[in-house]
Structure 1
């Protein structure tokens, strides 16, 4: 049966509304990146949505660790400021879906490519403290997506015995690749975020959902079947 659901945040349970791109543009401006280079960088950001943000900055800034860390801090601060200003809302039905899963004895972990502090600010803004059984960031698990570390860390911390008892859900190809690498039985993509149906299918999604609202039916029916 499915005993654990590992859920992405931005684009899956939390509406993005362009906040990632806005925060990125502000961050690279603050570290002195020429405006003429920003458009090409944004293309890479869009392709790699779901990946750990520090990894993205390392790639874009040619491996300059100090500059990447500086840009990542600026990004996190810019994103957090927007959250504090109220630019943060749940994907319709996300909280209800999580509560329905937990009510059916399915554990839920919320994961993100952001830093722990930013994740906490998002959860606080939404009033989601304690909503999930576990929250994780790349820094707490080892590596970010597309690696399976956050999924497998959730399995270990929540006492799940078998990777086949896991369902993962996300809006990007990186989320899907992470779930596949972890060996999850259900690796669902949702169409409320960064990547479309073709990209999610190409990455190996077992299911593609219009939104997280459809997740409890999928997971709980699989729970019964298995």
Structure 2
């Protein structure tokens, strides 16, 4: 991919999604959802289960408690479902069912070596995010990790996680100096609503190129491994790439 740069800006802050973007979990979200739904009385293989699973797939990237509020209505049932989901997902993580997306750690390190601050974000609760970080040995990999509770409780598609990364790191002077990367349309919406100049979709996770572009992706990459080269932009480190022109 070829991109151009403007001369008037840098991108010192990069906000990366986890599951599907930097972390390959092999469909654990759907498996954990099935366990949570069954605990709340939804029969596996039923029409209700299929309808709910379709909604989970469509809203990948959104805060999980928000998804369960939509599916189960009242707050008490939503919280029960969310707790069951987090427990099931944590058990699968502990069983060694996750791994880094190929090249993800190297990309993060390359971004940091170029002087950029990297923040990892998720729609999971903090306990699950920490379990993933521990399983990968990533606790000390980046300057900051954020979950919805760290941003006032609102996850994607709201801009709060990206804005919290900017405010808590102080790494950039403007939202235009932020790059966001994720694998879902909700990641793209969050980045665009925050005002990031680069909102890059990656094809290693839940949503395809059409969905990512439809949600406002400025660039679509094969994986996060391509992000350092994109941000280097024709050999001028730090420059802000212009959005891709339609082919």
What TM-score, normalized by structure 2, do the two folds share?
0.89
Q: How far apart, CA to CA, are the structure 2 residues paired with 1:225 and 1:105?
A: 12
Q: How far apart, CA to CA, are the structure 2 residues paired with 1:78 and 1:148?
A: 28
Counterparts in 2 of 1:140 and 1:224: CA distance versus 1, 3 Å: closer
Give the aligned partner of residue 106 of structure 2.
96
Q: How far apart, CA to CA, are the structure 2 residues paired with 1:6 and 1:180?
A: 12
Matched, 1:139 2:153: no
Matched, 1:18 2:30: no
1:215 shift after superposition: 0.5
1:34 shift after superposition: 3.1
Q: Deviations over 1:23-47 (max 9, x none)?
A: 0001110121233111110100000
Instruction: Structure 1 unaligned segments of length 5 or more: list them.
Output: none
Instruction: Structure 2 unaligned segments of length 5 or more: list them.
Output: 1-9, 241-247
1:225 shift after superposition: 3.4
1:72 shift after superposition: 0.2
Q: How does 1:142-157 map to 2 (within 5 A)?
A: 142=152, 143-157=154-168
1:88 shift after superposition: 1.0
1:219 shift after superposition: 1.4
Matched, 1:184 2:196: yes
Given that residues 9 and 112 in structure 1 are in contact (C-alpha distance below 8 angstroms), is that contact kept between their aligned partners in structure 2?
yes
What TM-score, normalized by structure 1, do the two folds share?
0.97
User: Which protein is richer in helix relative to its size?
Assistant: 1
Matched, 1:55 2:69: no
1:16 shift after superposition: 2.4
- For the pair shown, the structure with the greater C-alpha radius of gyration is 2
Q: How far apart, CA to CA, are the structure 1 residues paired with 2:198 and 2:69?
A: 31
